[in-house]
Amino acid sequence: MIKKKKDTIKSLAVHSKDVGSTEVQIGLLTDKITKLSEHFKNFKKDKHSTLGLTKSVNKRKKLLSYLKKKNVDSYQKVIKQLNLRK
């Protein structure tokens, strides 16, 4: 998990010491959403974690719309790298 988190931060970082830019936040939320989705395949009745998944998806959606408004090139890069939109 920690290795994957560091890889995500490194691949999406805008500069060398970047840990909190919009791109990195979107990447970390995507990892969290993927992990929770896998969790629900085994535990279908886990309703408390469903709330966390919903909040994470909505936060990522807001961050993506913000990034699209502010920096379209970076938005396209993030979408392609994380394979979000089809």
How far CA 5 is from CA of 10, 24, 28, 41, 45, in Å, comes to 9, 10, 7, 22, 27
Please write the tens of the pLDDT for every residue from 26-67. Answer: 999 999 999 999 999 999 899 999 999 999 999 999 999 999
Q: What pLDDT is stored for residue 17 in this prediction? A: 87
Q: What pLDDT is stored for residue 9 in this prediction? A: 87
How far CA 42 is from CA of 24, 46, 50, in Å, comes to 28, 9, 13
